[in-house]
Structures are given as structure tokens and as C-alpha cells.
Amino acid sequence: MCGIAGIIYKDKKTHNVGKSLTSMLESLQHRGPDSAGFAIYGGLNLPKNHYQLNIEVKNKPEILEKLKTTLKEESPIYKEKLIKSDEDYDVYRCEIKLNEYSKLKPLIRYLDEIEDIQVINGSHSFEMIKDIGKVKTIAKRYDVPKRIGTHGIGHTRFATESGIDRYHAHPYQSYITPDITVVHNGQITNYWKIRDPLERKGHVFESLNDTECIVHYIADKLHQGYKLEEALEDAVKDLDGPFSLLVGTPNGIGIAKDKLGLRPGVMAENDDIFAIASEEMSLQDVLDTDYVEQIAPGETRSYTI
């Protein structure tokens, strides 16, 4: 099934987006027990050309030392902080500096080639948090309710394809256009028809998850100069299968639903907040309103700040 949620604060100021998304996703926990994740925009405030990496490292001193040596060689600065530890793996949050954004994905690919290391994500204007397990557990582990921002999207996953691990948790990200993320409930049945042209254009796929296909599709459109609303309209035309999806960008949130309306989605707003989720009870966690809209079949919408 999967559950999706998004929230945006209209005053463009930072708020407890992490707390709001945690509440929304906890109400959707029954839709996905396998993993959960958040993309929180507007609160990271990194300097220009600085990026945050979340890196999963095998719990061996020599592997961590290899990671640190590699990052120090590649980046003029390197800072790291352990954010989670379990029996087999540690996750490190690292801040690096690169001369230009185009070097980020090659660096990630290079790190991924090191045995027992996998980069979960890299970002400049948003904070990615995702892991295996229940929403409440993950939120506590990463202090999600303390994460501030202007807007964000979240997901709780019921895995129907691809692995259950940190990397395959949603949101998914593309590096063609900076800081574009997607969460998705549904299936893209013409996956290979969409993926093949994107790979020929240079998009690198790391999984068989159809959500990754969506985020590359949207990022490619934005890279070509499409507005978000235009990219979403084309997505409804080109993507087959049942889906409701949310796109996170540094400037807002986009929404799209398949032409037949086979996956749920509702939205509501007041003077302060616009919110969207798979089910109405999730909206009630963050705003008090009697007017809830159903996302219509084939509808797209973008909300920017």
C-alpha cells in the first residue's frame, strides 16, 4: 500500500516540519511497516558548494578509516558525525565541499565502489532521513521531531519490489537536477519504457524500484527547463499504472495522480499550512479543517513558496 505525506508552511519561515511529518506518517503506519523516510527542506542552511552525505559503513575500524581518508582527499573540508549505530553498520552524516554540483554524483559513485560502504544520499538544501522500521522508531533514532524546515515530504513503505534496506527506503533522489526527491504509492507498469530513454541520456539507476524511475523522469524534465507543473502533467500522460506521488523541490511540493485515480490522496489547507496525505486522518494531525479535497484522477498541482 504505502503512505505518503507532505506539508508546506505558507509564511516561508522555518517550523517543526519534522514533528509534523512524523505525526502524519504515524497515522499512516498501517499502510507500510517496512521502512520510512523524510525529506525536510529549508532547515539545513549549508554554505554554497557544501553538501551533506549520509553514508552507511560496515562496523569495522578499517572501513571507516578508508572512508575518512577518501573524503579528505576529495574535499577541501570534511566533517562527520555518527547519527545511528547498530550491530553491523554505522551511519555517518558528513559535510563536504566540492567546487561544483556536477562532482557530487561521481564522488558518490566512487564511494559506493568501496566494499562495505554505501552512500544513502547527498544534498544541499534538504535533509534526508530514512531507515528500516516503524515511523516512531526512526523518528526517535534520528531526532526527526526536532528537524526544522519550510516544507517536506515523507513516506512509510510496504515493499512490493526491491530490497528492504536503508537505501531502498523512500524518498528517492536524482542528481541530474539538485535536490529533487519523490515519494510514491503505487506501481509504474511501463517502467522499462520510461527507464530506457533516461539511461541513454545518462541517468544512472541504482535499483529496480519504480520510484527511482519517477524521480529521474521528473528531474530530467526540470533539467530541460520545464516548470514543475509541466513536468507533472507530462508524468500523468507518460506513466502507466496506479500511482499517487509527491515531488519535493527546494521551492515547494508537487502532486500527481494517475489518470484512473486508483491510489488515494487527500489535501487540505488553512491560512498557515498546505498538507497532503494518503488518508484524511493524517491531515487532522497538523491542521483543523472541515474541508478536505480528494485529489482527482489525473490531477496535478504544485505549491511553491
- For the chain, list the strands marked E by DSSP: 3-9, 35-41, 50-58, 78-85, 89-97, 117-123, 126-132, 151-157, 172-174, 180-186, 243-249, 252-257, 266-269, 273-277, 293-294, 300-304
Q: Which of 299, 269, 297 is nearest to 6 (CA)?
A: 269
Q: Which among 292, 305, 150 has a CA at the least distance from the CA of 228?
A: 305
Distance CA 231, CA 176 (A): 14
C-alpha–C-alpha distance, residues 167 and 165, integer Å: 6
Dist CA 68 CA 198 (whole Å): 33
Q: Any residues with CB less than 8 A from the CB of 110 and at least 6 apart, and which? A: 70, 74
Annotated catalytic residues are 2
Contact 5, 253 (CB under 8 A): no
State phi, psi for 191 to the nearest 5 degrees. Answer: -50, -50
Residue with cell 550491530: 87
Integer-rounded Cα Rg, in Å, for the chain is: 18
Among 64, 46, 77, residue whose Cα is nearest residue 111: 64
CA-nearest of 27, 30, 178 to 105 is 178
